[in-house]
Structure 1
Amino acid sequence: MRGKRSKQYRKLMQQYGLSFGFREPYQVLVDAEILKDADRFKMDLVGGLERTLHGKVKPMITQCSMRHLYAATNEPGMSFVIDKAKMYERRRCDHRPEDYPEPLSAKECLASVVDPKGAKTNKHRYVVASQELEVRKHMRGILGVPLVYINRSVMIMEPMAGATAEMREKEEKVKFRDGLKGRGSGSQGMKRKREDDGDDKETANDGADAAAKKKSKYGKGPKGPNPLSVKKSKKKADGEATAPEKKQDAEEAGDASTVAATADGSEPGSKKKRRRKHKSGNEGGDSEAVAASREGAEADMDVDAED
């Protein structure tokens, strides 16, 4: 069996298990024709069913199918097929020879076993393995019946029938809606419970959320100095001005000098010229001393010339 087909069969049986409750070992109803074809193609019927259904199987055969095999004893190799069929579990269909001298067809017999009340449901979860097209066509109308047949020595499992697939989709939608409703009621219940417990946790959570939002809003940026490594400012003594106060006083003094310079008529930015002041009482004495020093210097010059 190829990998792709095997994967499809495994997925299909999982769907049957979820929607209709199929489980191992799978109960497989076989008819007389599939036993004959399996013997003709030299196939292991039980092994092929297990590979196709991906699980252990329990093969079953009805009393009518056994009677069909006994009726064909004259065919070559039928004794081997009958011996193998005797090893399978016998499913009683209540079609006794005294009531039904001729065995019923595979379609009628299998339909009475799978759906005895005609409710279109596979109550006992049978898997039908039949070579007759009429049997498979009838079983497609019953919900949840996997169908298996042999085609050129290859065992095939039919896709899920239309009615079965529709029913499965409806059930999935119902489950989905119920899940949404249960989820909504659960959230409301949790909300009420939280309100009953108190608002302290809500306030703490709101504060944490607001801080996280604020932090994420501003993002990364330049950071200030570490407050633990910054030198602390000294406490000022009585009458001692701090550095900002000194700076403010200096600025005020500069403004006062600017105002005075403007009043004198000079430009605020130009440097004021210094004027030398002479004492009024010593002006005459100073001139006499200068004259005497000049005369002494001239006398010295004359003496040097004589020498």
Structure 2
Amino acid sequence: ALRGTRHYPRPSLDAPPAASCSAHGCGFRIRGSRRCGRWPGCSALAMKITRQKHAKKYMSFYKYNFGFREPFQVLLDGTFCQAALRNKIQIRDQLPGYLAGATQLCTTRCVLKELESLGKELYGAKLIAQRFQVRNCSHFKDPVSGSACLLSMTEEGNPHHYFIATQDQDLATKVKKKAGVPLLFIIQNTMVLDKPSPKSLAFVQAMQANQLVPEHQKQSIEHLKEEQGLVKESENRRKRKRAGGPNPLSCLKKKKKVQETQQPSAAKKKRKRKRNRAKSEA
């Protein structure tokens, strides 16, 4: 046997018949134990690890190409809250671990108005949505549907780096037509980050080929530089002196000092002092 390989005990002939996994509800057939990962036939644990790897890969794509950063801002609509309620998902507790970073759960007034208008059927989803931050939208006077409101929040290249969490297929299709807008949805009892859309992949390829330079990305990069203080450091950074040649003045030949000969000064004429002698009388 190769080193590093894990060996699972073979089930005995007296083992109970195959049963489905009950730990995560994956539905795969296992023998003996009902816990995930005990037998090779149950792949719920492997599916969870694969799902986390995909999420990590997609998050790195959005971070490096579209400037996403923590805390990740997630816009939720009523359909996502209702699905989380049915599948007993704790969004606030589970989503940061799945995205591997701090998150800010938020919604809009239009989504809350829509849930109020739908009555008692979505009362639980309304209570969940009311716990999140309410972001200002441009429909303060004239509310629109929740899907239309969330789409308007991601216009002009999604400058605020919003995630869209929804179960609405029409809204998901429209979100995929925009570049740089991650999509979250729920499958059974699991939150899933959708892979980058073809629109996002084409956008990144065009950027790498220097065919497209987005303004919002320039602004976000400059904003990040200002926050990190990179702009000030580059301006105030002292220039490093490069090694140059010798001083040309030091290469000149030394000049001999010429001693100035003092010329003999002309003899100064002595000043004769005249004395007035008084003539004595004879």
Q: Which residue of structure 2 aligns with residue 108 of structure 1?
A: 148
Equivalent AA in structure 1 for residue 206 of structure 2: K
Q: How does 1:132-211 map to 2 (within 5 A)?
A: 132-174=168-210
Shift of 1:58: 0.2
State the TM-score, normalizing by the size of structure 2: 0.55
Q: Secondary structure at the match of 1:143?
A: coil
State the TM-score, normalizing by the size of structure 1: 0.51
Q: Is the 8 A contact 1:107 1:138 kept in 2?
A: no
Does structure 1 residue 36 correspond to structure 2 residue 82?
Answer: yes
Equivalent AA in structure 2 for residue 104 of structure 1: V
Equivalent AA in structure 1 for residue 127 of structure 2: D
Q: Is the 8 A contact 2:172 2:183 kept in 1?
A: yes
Q: Secondary structure at the match of 1:93?
A: coil
- Partners of 1:44 and 1:163 lie apart in 2 by 31
Q: Secondary structure at the match of 2:110?
A: helix
Indicate which of 108, 115, 118 corresponds to 1:72: 118
Shift of 1:104: 2.1
Shift of 1:197: 5.9
Equivalent AA in structure 1 for residue 133 of structure 2: E
Shift of 1:173: 4.6
Q: Which residue of structure 2 aligns with residue 14 of structure 1?
A: 60
Q: Is the 8 A contact 1:106 1:135 kept in 2?
A: no
Shift of 1:172: 3.6
Shift of 1:18: 0.7
Shift of 1:23: 0.5
Q: How does 1:294-305 map to 2 (within 5 A)?
A: none
- Partners of 1:164 and 1:40 lie apart in 2 by 32
- Partners of 1:68 and 1:87 lie apart in 2 by 16
Structure 1 or 2, whichever has the larger Rg, is 1
Q: Secondary structure at the match of 1:74?
A: helix
> C-alpha deviations, 1:282-304, integer Å up to 9, x for none?
xxxxxxxxxxxxxxxxxxxxxxx
Equivalent AA in structure 1 for residue 91 of structure 2: L
Moved over 4 A (4+): none
The percent of aligned pairs where both chains have the same amino acid is: 27
- Partners of 2:125 and 2:69 lie apart in 1 by 28
RMSD across aligned positions (CA): 2.4
Equivalent AA in structure 1 for residue 99 of structure 2: L
- Partners of 1:197 and 1:16 lie apart in 2 by 49
Shift of 1:170: 3.2
Higher-helix-fraction structure = 1
> C-alpha deviations, 1:166-186, integer Å up to 9, x for none?
222333455xxxxxxxxxxxx
Q: Is the 8 A contact 2:111 2:146 kept in 1?
A: yes
Q: Residues 81 and 132 of structure 1: is their aligned pair in 2 closer, same or farther, counting only changes over 3 Å? A: closer
- Partners of 1:111 and 1:53 lie apart in 2 by 22
- Partners of 1:74 and 1:83 lie apart in 2 by 11
Q: Residues 173 and 197 of structure 1: is their aligned pair in 2 closer, same or farther, counting only changes over 3 Å? A: farther
Q: Which residue of structure 2 aligns with residue 81 of structure 1?
A: 125
Q: Which residue of structure 1 aligns with residue 96 of structure 2?
A: 50
